[in-house]
Amino acid sequence: MFLRRARTILHFNQIISKCCNAKISATNELKNYPCALYSTGLRYVELPRRLSKSDKKPWVTDINEVKRQARLEKKERKVVREVILSPPENGLLVKELIPVAHEVLAARSELFTCISIVADSIPIYSCSVCGEVHVGSPPHQIRTCNVSGSKNNKEHTWASGGIEHILPVVESFHLYDRLGRAVSHNERLQVDRIPAVVELCIQAGVDILEYPTRRREFPVYFVAGRMIDFEKRFSKNDLSRKDIETFGFWEMMRSNDSRKSSNVPHNDLKDEQVLQRKALWRGKK
C-alpha cells in the first residue's frame, strides 16, 4: 500500500513539472515580440503602439484629402445652379392643405365654445403661485408648491380659474410675408402676436381680414444661394396710385422719338415703369 501511494505521488509530480515547463516556454516566446500580444483562440493580434504625450494622433483622413474636398466644395458653391423648390417653400400654397386649414380653424372655435359651456358647470382652480390647475371641487391639499414665493409648508394658494388655464394660448408673430426677412429684436413690439394655431392656418391658406398676408401667384426661385422673387411689389388695387393723372401721358410718349422699346418679361414690371414715368411727367409739368 505504501508503494502504491509513492507511485501516485511521483505521477502527480511529473504532471506538475510538465505544466511548469510549458508555462516557462510560453513566457519565453512572448518575450521575443517587441509589443504585447493577446490571444483570440489560436491567432495572435498585435496591440497598437502606446503613444507618448508628445506624439500626435494620426488623422482619420489624410490632411491633403481634406483640403482637396474643401476646394471641390468651394468650387461647387460658385457654380450657378437653380434649386427647384416645391410648395410651400416657393411661396405658393398647397391646395390640399387649404380645406384642412379651414377645418382646423373651425374645430378650434368649436372646441373653445364647448369647453366654455362645460366650464360653467364644473369648477376650475388654479394656483396663483405656481400655476398648477385642478378641476373639480374641492381642490387637492397635496403640498407640491415648491417655487419662489410659496408658503413654507408648500401648500397651494388656490383661486378660481377659467378656460385659459385649461387651454393656454400659445402666441406667435404674425408674418405678412412668410418668405420675407425675419423679425428683428427691435421690431418685437411692432409686429402683432396672434395664437399660433391661427397663424398656422393663415399660412396654410385661410384668409382673415384682421390679419392680412401676402399670397403669391408666381413661385420664388432659389439660384446660386440667393432667393429671387419675380412677384410685383405693389398690388393692382393699391390706393397709392389713385392720385396719378394720365392726361397727356401718351402724347408725351409718342413725341419722344428717341425712346427705345424694351421687352418686359412680366406685366408687373411694366406697370412699375409706367408709374415712374407718370411721376416724372408730373414733376416736369
Q: What is the pLDDT of residues 14-66, one digit of tens each?
A: 777 766 666 566 555 555 544 444 444 556 777 777 777 777 776 778 888 99
Q: Is residue 190 part of a domain?
A: no
Would you say residue 111 lies in a domain? no
Nearest to 252 by CA among 234, 225, 233, 279: 279
Residue 220 has pLDDT above 80, yes or no: yes
The last residue of a domain, from among 166, 199, 219 = 166
267 in any annotated domain: yes
- Full residue range of the structural domain in which residue 147 is found: 124-166
* 112 confidence band (pLDDT: 50, 70, 90): very high
Q: Is residue 247 part of a domain?
A: yes
pLDDT at 248 over 50: no
274 lies in a domain?
yes
Considering its fold, how many domains does the chain have in total?
3
Long-range contacts, 75-81 (Cβ 8 Å, 24+) = 77/225, 79/224, 80/223, 80/224, 81/223, 81/224
In a domain, 260, yes or no: yes
Cis (ω within 30 of 0) for the bond into 88? yes
Strand 226-228 versus strand 171-173 pairing type: unpaired
Look at 29-33, 56-60, 102-106, 276-280 and tell me which has the smallest mean pLDDT.
29-33
14, 31, 46: which is the final residue of a domain? Answer: 46
Is residue 149 assigned to a domain? yes
In a domain, 205, yes or no: no
Of 132, 166, 200, which residue constitutes the final position of a domain?
Answer: 166
